[in-house]
Amino acid sequence: MLPIGPFCAPRVPPESSKRPLFLKRLLTDLFVRSAEPPPSGRLEVADTRCPGLTLRVTKGGAKSWSLRFRDPNSGKLTRATIGEYPSNTLQMARERALTLKREIADGINPVEKKRHDRANASMRTFQALAERYIAEHARRHKRTASADERSLRIHVLPRWAARPFDSLGRRDVIALCEEIVSKGSPIQANRVQALISKIFSFAIDAELVSVNPCARLKKRSKENVATRVLSDDEIRLFWRRIGDPPNSNRIGHTVSQPHRADGAGT
């Protein structure tokens, strides 16, 4: 161990040294703040008050905290990242290290737990749910699958891809659809809202969520049904295509009768 005064920065070996400098001492706020970067490699200082807690200082001056521990299952020496300094103070690092130590005492490797939690979180995103909906439901209905995928790619995933799907509520749906309306596409907003509703209905059936945020949500815009009168050429083509009697007689009679909007004349 190199002799170090109570508040002075640690002395470091010459640049020719290739091995990381590892020291042990009681860490203080002043020491952590004043610790100078080594001329090469990195400096690691272990806290004697909280065994395993280590301050790492790189050649570039970056400082960070980690906890050195032995895997409770394999016994292998492992390092768990705690965070950067100064956003994580010495007191915060000690508290976090104690939390990790309690997990280790319970037989949990915090590094593996963090990796597992990240994997689970990625499966709880709206993008993961949307991809499952397309794969298991929408592609069975090929007529709408391509339109659904395109609508997701353009209008929904840019905003919701990384969001946990169970965190999305009515306000999120309304905000997304209103944004589409503001861009001059009110009918598309209706289509997107309907698609989101189908995805969450699929999630309810799969017991992934219990509530559909689109339930009883009004359409963003009223849609008018278009009507059109057949041209003379289209009428002649129609007569050629309807086939032989008796169907042709019945269909022709129905088409030739005047119809009113209230159903009279039928």
Class in CATH terms, 21-122:
alpha beta
What's the chain look like in SS3? Answer: CCCCCCCCCCCCCCCCCCCCEEEEECCCHHHHHHCCCCCCCEEEEEECCCCCEEEEEECCCCEEEEEEEECCCCCCEEEEEEEEECCCCHHHHHHHHHHHHHHHHCCCCHHHHHHHHHHHHHHCEHHHHHHHHHHHCHHHCHHHHHHHHHHHHHHHHHHHCCCEHHHCCHHHHHHHHHHHHHCCCHHHHHHHHHHHHHHHHHHHHCCCCCCCCCCCCCCCCCCCCCCCCCCHHHHHHHHHHCCCCCHHHHHHHHHHCCCCCCCCCC
For 150-178, the pLDDT digits (tens) are 999 999 999 999 999 999 999 999 999 99
Task: Give residue limits of the domains in the chain.
Answer: 21-122, 125-239
Class in CATH terms, 125-239:
mainly alpha
Asked whether 70 and 76 are in contact (CB, 8 A), the reply is yes
pLDDT at 266: 44
pLDDT at 68: 96
pLDDT at 196: 97
- What global pTM score does this model have? 0.51
Parts of the chain with a pLDDT under 70: 1-20, 138-139, 141-142, 221-236, 238-239, 241-266
The CA distances from residue 261 to 208, 223, 265, in Å, are 45, 18, 10
Asked whether 12 and 18 are in contact (CB, 8 A), the reply is no
Both tokens of residue 218?
A: 């009004």
Residues 6+ away with beta carbon under 8 Å from 67: 52, 53, 54, 79, 80, 82, 96, 97, 100, 101, 110
pLDDT at 243: 62
Residue 208: φ, ψ to 5°: -95, -30
For 107-116, the pLDDT digits (tens) are 999 999 888 8
Asked whether 178 and 221 are in contact (CB, 8 A), the reply is no
| Amino acid, res. 72 | P
Asked whether 51 and 27 are in contact (CB, 8 A), the reply is no
The residue whose two tokens read 């050649």 is 59
Q: Is 123 left (phi over 0), alpha (psi -120 to 50) or beta?
A: alpha
pLDDT at 12: 47
Q: Do domains 21-122 and 125-239 have the same CATH topology?
A: no
How far apart CA 100 and CA 175 sit, in angstroms, is 40
